[in-house]
């Protein structure tokens, strides 16, 4: 009986230990950490230092526990040095597992070592996740994008994340998570892109906007695409999910501007190879619906619809052709991933031209076939009628 | 020695968990780049052949484990030598597995916890289950194999939206030499490791079902590995896959369904720990049985704790860093393990067949002169 009693005591002690020693070795309460939502990285050439601007959640006490943004700026020799210097400013260690966006400045994007060190740090650190969105600041510094949140008392990183998630309905930027960016850098021939973020001043407040694309040649920023060009870029890479195509009016038949809403898009990319020359063939098939008519022409007629389809197809073809030519001539950087198509379809030929792909890409001929299909016209069957 | 009997289903479960174990987190066939999934298929065929050989050996001597078979085939003296070699190999590989698991936990989630704490905690549980015996291990596996396969299936299904079929093309782009290397690596770790089950799974309740147990186990385990490998390649592409240590962990961390179903990587960590626990226990069990055999003791239980402590010690002093460990693991270990996985079993099979034939003949001569 006594033995059983002793056994029980020992068992209870062991069981009690479970509650006491559970948890991590380096257990920290949430109030001992700063939750970083977004970070912006600048590079100062004079002092050769990295400037990190971090936006974190400020918790004010009280029952309701309101949250607001707080922005801290630190300097360091490289990224991780700057990150650890955060502790000096905030007094607490940073928690990076909830970070959503990383903004880099143009200075950083133009320097290979800086860019590589940031990417490496993000992928190497245990806390940061590889699906952080990466953005390129079109302003002077990257930090000011986050800093404007203090004045407006809203979390810029959160707004940017919400915006990035709505890529499908805007189609004026192409959101890139950091792992994809790194993958693009590593792939042969293909170059990455980053969406650009702007700061706009209205009369009442400053706001952040994302549109356009920064074009890289491997690890070096070489140029920009604006919002409309980015949409054409999405057409080429086949990632277009929505957006509006505006047809300019035609004076002769009294049509105003028309909006076609893109519902579905499919881009097939093929390589045509004959006598040592590669032609990239793009078969674009877009389904749209009439979303806005600025004139009186009734497009429910079959012939009118057909004409509209042809006009739209022509417009798309022109825009796509323009953007390809621009990137080929001005940037010499294969952001469309044509290299991947060639590698897949002509592996032997690819081995030969791999070395000077940038040159081949610049001279690459494209053959763009566009087919537009108008499926529906939303709620209205006819345009608004204007009486005599 | 009291025989411990497990059912066919439990045997298969153990083999599946063993195969999934650490290899679901590490991809070993990366030499073949985009074609590592082909390498896994080829290795799977080789592994099935080896499993067949081992099952044949076990069918010839259904009552004995591999050590007893070795003694019967090679005699007392030479047999002891080979058992010693085998025990050393198992001990060493067990240490590698222990390091694999704890390094993963240490690097991916508990990065400020000293590794030794994780090792001791894991090893204590292994000692416990091994002391309880093979039957408990079998029942544990039978219970956990379903949730583990379920988790892996969920992980794969949720990864589908992120997959890109172009990551696999062009097929067969790396050439034949890296392909053979990769096949060898996958075969060495973990598909060809069936030999350990001839030691650990000493008795099945339905006799002569070794063919079924070994081959089904290896087949299912191999297919799971193949699917995981394909998932990683399809989601990440070869450039990222070859640049990180823990590919599955990264793939799982990219899953994001509708903004609320994310951070699945913790589930994959749990899969690794559960399956890795079985793997480690089997190594501990087999090593202990080897040590007991060398000293001629009928029961292995008395050496389990010392062997476990030695494993922890060796794991501390063996490598300085994960870089060194990975280099050894990938470049040297596959060659080191080849004799134990393939060459010895084939020799044993030949001798065993010859012995069996001779005894049969002598029996026939005795019965009908």
pLDDT digits (tens, 9 = 90+) for B115-143: 888 899 899 999 999 998 888 888 999 99
Cβ distance of A25 and B107 shorter than 8 Å: no
In-domain check, residue B201:
yes
Q: Does the pLDDT value for residue B5 go beyond 90?
A: no
Q: A87-91, B25-29, B306-310: which has the minimum mean pLDDT?
A: B25-29
| A340 touches B at CB < 8 Å | yes
Contact B173 A347 (CB under 8 A): yes
| Furthest-apart CA atoms within chain A: distance in Å | 109
Q: Decide: residue A2, CB within 10 A, 0-12 exposed, 13-18 middle, 19+ buried.
A: exposed
Determine contact, residues B214/B204, Cβ cutoff 8 Å.
no
Q: Which residues have C-beta within 8 Å of that of residue B266, sequence separation ≥ 6?
A: B109
Any domain includes B268: yes
Does position B109 have pLDDT exceeding 60, yes or no? yes
Q: Do B253 and A165 touch (CB under 8 A)?
A: no
Integer Rg of chain B from CA: 21
* pLDDT for res B308: 93
Note the pLDDT of residue B367. Answer: 61
Nearest to B240 among A24, A25, A179 (CB): A179
Q: Which residue ranges make up each domain of chain A? A: 31-225, 227-379
Domain CATH code at residue B265: 1.20.1740.10
User: Into how many domains does chain B fold?
Assistant: 1
Q: Which among B111, B173, B239 has CB closest to A183?
A: B239
Neighbours of A5 (CB within 10 A): 9
Q: Are B110 and A24 within 8 A, CB to CB? A: yes
Q: Per residue in A283-301, pLDDT tens?
A: 999 988 888 877 776 666 7
Check CB contact under 8 Å for B244 and A186.
Answer: no
Q: Tell me the average pLDDT across A338-366.
A: 86
Paired strand residues for A102? A39, A134
Cβ–Cβ < 8 Å for B225, B154 = no
Domain carrying residue B294? 5-350
pTM, two decimal places: 0.80
Is B283 among the domain residues?
A: yes
Q: How high is the pLDDT of residue A294?
A: 75
Would you call A344 and B243 a contact, using CB atoms and an 8 Å cutoff? no
- Would residue B369 count as lying in a domain? no
Give residue B206's pLDDT: 66
CA distance A138 to B15: 56
| Distances A327 to A181, B56, B251 between C-alpha atoms, Å | 18, 65, 32
Percent of chain B beyond pLDDT 90?
A: 18
Chain A hits for B173, Cβ within 8 Å: 347
| Interface residues from chain B to A (CB-CB < 8 Å) | 107-114, 117, 166, 169-170, 173, 236-237, 239-240, 243-244, 250, 253-254, 256, 259
Question: Which parts of B27-133 fold into alpha helices (H)?
Answer: 36-60, 66-108, 115-132
Instruction: Give domain status of residue B362, yes or no.
Output: no
The reply to whether A242 touches chain B by the CB within 8 Å rule is no
Residue B272 has pLDDT above 50, yes or no: yes
pLDDT above 60 for B2: no
Fold of A227-379: GMP Synthetase; Chain A, domain 3 (3.30.300)
Q: How far is CA B272 from CA A356, B23, B134, in A?
A: 44, 9, 21
Does residue B98 contact residue B119 with C-beta atoms inside 8 Å?
yes
Q: For residue B260, what pLDDT is reported?
A: 77
**Selection from B67-76, B89-98, B196-205, B318-327 with the highest mean pLDDT:** B89-98
> Is residue B365 situated within a structural domain?
no
pLDDT grade, residue B1 (50/70/90)?
Answer: very low
B231: tokens are 């998932």
Domain annotation covers residue B289 = yes
- Cβ-Cβ contacts under 8 Å between A and B: the total is 49
Domain membership of residue B356 (yes or no) is no
pLDDT tens, B33-52?
788 888 889 999 999 999 99
With 60 as the cut, is the pLDDT of residue A189 above it? yes
């Amino acid at each position: 009986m006594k033995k059983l009693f002793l056994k029980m005591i020992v068992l209870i002690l062991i069981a009690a230990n479970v509650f006491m020693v559970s948890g991590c070795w380096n257990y920290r309460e949430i109030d001992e950490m700063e939750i970083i939502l977004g970070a912006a990285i600048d590079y100062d050439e004079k002092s050769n230092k990295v400037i990190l601007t971090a936006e974190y959640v400020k918790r004010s006490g009280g029952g309701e526990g309101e949250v607001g943004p707080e922005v801290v700026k630190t300097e360091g020799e490289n990224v991780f040095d700057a990150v650890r210097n955060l502790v000096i400013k905030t007094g607490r260690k940073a928690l990076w597992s909830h970070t959503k966006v990383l903004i880099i400045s143009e200075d950083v994007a133009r320097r290979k070592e800086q860019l590589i060190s940031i990417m490496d740090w993000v992928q190497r650190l245990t806390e940061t996740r590889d699906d952080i969105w990466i953005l390129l600041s079109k302003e002077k510094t990257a930090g000011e994008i986050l800093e404007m949140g203090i004045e407006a008392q809203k979390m810029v990183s959160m707004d940017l994340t919400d915006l990035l998630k709505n890529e499908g309905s805007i189609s004026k930027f192409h959101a890139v998570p950091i792992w994809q960016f790194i993958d693009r850098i590593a792939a042969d021939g293909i170059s990455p892109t980053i969406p650009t973020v702007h700061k706009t001043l209205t009369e009442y407040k400053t706001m952040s906007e994302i549109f356009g694309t920064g074009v890289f040649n491997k690890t070096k920023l070489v140029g920009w695409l604006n919002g409309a060009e980015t949409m054409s870029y999405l057409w080429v890479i086949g990632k277009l999910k929505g957006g509006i195509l505006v047809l300019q009016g035609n004076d002769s038949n009294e049509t105003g501007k028309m909006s076609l809403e893109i519902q579905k898009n499919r881009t097939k990319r093929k390589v045509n190879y004959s006598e040592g020359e590669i032609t990239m063939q793009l078969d674009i098939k877009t389904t749209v619906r009439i979303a806005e008519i600025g004139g009186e022409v009734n497009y429910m007629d079959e012939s009118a619809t057909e004409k509209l389809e042809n006009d739209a197809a022509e417009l798309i073809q022109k825009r796509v052709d323009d953007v390809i030519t621009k990137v080929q001539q001005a940037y010499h950087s294969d952001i469309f991933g044509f290299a991947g198509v060639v590698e897949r379809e002509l592996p032997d030929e690819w081995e030969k031209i791999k070395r000077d792909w940038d040159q081949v890409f610049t001279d690459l001929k494209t053959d763009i076939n566009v087919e537009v299909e108008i499926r529906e016209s939303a709620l209205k069957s006819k345009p608004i009628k204007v009486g005599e | 020695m009291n025989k411990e009997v497990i059912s066919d289903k439990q045997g298969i479960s153990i083999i599946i968990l063993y195969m999934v174990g650490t290899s679901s987190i590490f991809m070993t066939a990366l030499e073949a780049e985009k074609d590592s999934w082909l390498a896994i298929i080829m290795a799977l065929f080789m592994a099935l052949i080896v499993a067949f050989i081992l099952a044949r050996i076990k069918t010839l001597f259904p009552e004995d484990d591999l050590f007893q078979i070795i003694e019967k085939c090679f005699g007392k003296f030479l047999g002891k030598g080979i058992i010693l070699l085998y025990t050393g190999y198992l001990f060493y590989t067990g240490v590698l597995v222990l390091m694999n698991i704890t390094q993963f936990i240490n690097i991916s989630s508990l990065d400020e916890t000293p590794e030794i704490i994780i090792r001791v905690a894991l090893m204590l549980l292994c000692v416990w289950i091994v002391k309880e015996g093979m039957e408990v291990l079998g029942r544990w596996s039978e219970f956990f194999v379903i949730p583990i396969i379920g988790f892996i299936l969920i992980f794969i299904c949720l990864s589908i939206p992120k997959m890109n079929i172009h990551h696999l093309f062009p097929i067969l782009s790396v050439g034949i030499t890296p392909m053979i290397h990769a096949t060898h690596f996958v075969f060495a770790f973990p598909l060809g490791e069936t030999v350990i089950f001839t030691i650990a799974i000493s008795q099945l309740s339905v006799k002569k079902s070794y063919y079924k147990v070994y081959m089904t186990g290896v087949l299912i385990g191999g297919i799971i590995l193949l699917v995981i490998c394909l998932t990683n390649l399809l989601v990440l592409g070869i450039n990222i896959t070859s640049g990180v240590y823990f590919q599955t962990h990264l793939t799982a961390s990219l899953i994001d369904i509708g903004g609320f179903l994310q951070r699945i990587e913790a589930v994959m960590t749990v899969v690794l720990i559960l399956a890795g626990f079985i793997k480690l226990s089997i190594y501990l069990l087999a090593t202990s049985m080897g040590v007991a055999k060398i000293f001629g003791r009928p029961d292995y239980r008395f050496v389990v704790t010392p062997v476990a402590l030695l494993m922890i010690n060796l794991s501390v002093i063996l490598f300085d860093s994960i870089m060194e460990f990975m280099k050894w693991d990938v470049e040297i270990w596959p060659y080191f393990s080849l004799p134990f996985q393939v060459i010895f079993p084939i020799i044993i099979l030949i001798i065993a067949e010859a012995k069996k034939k001779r005894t049969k003949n002598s029996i026939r001569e005795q019965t009908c002169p």
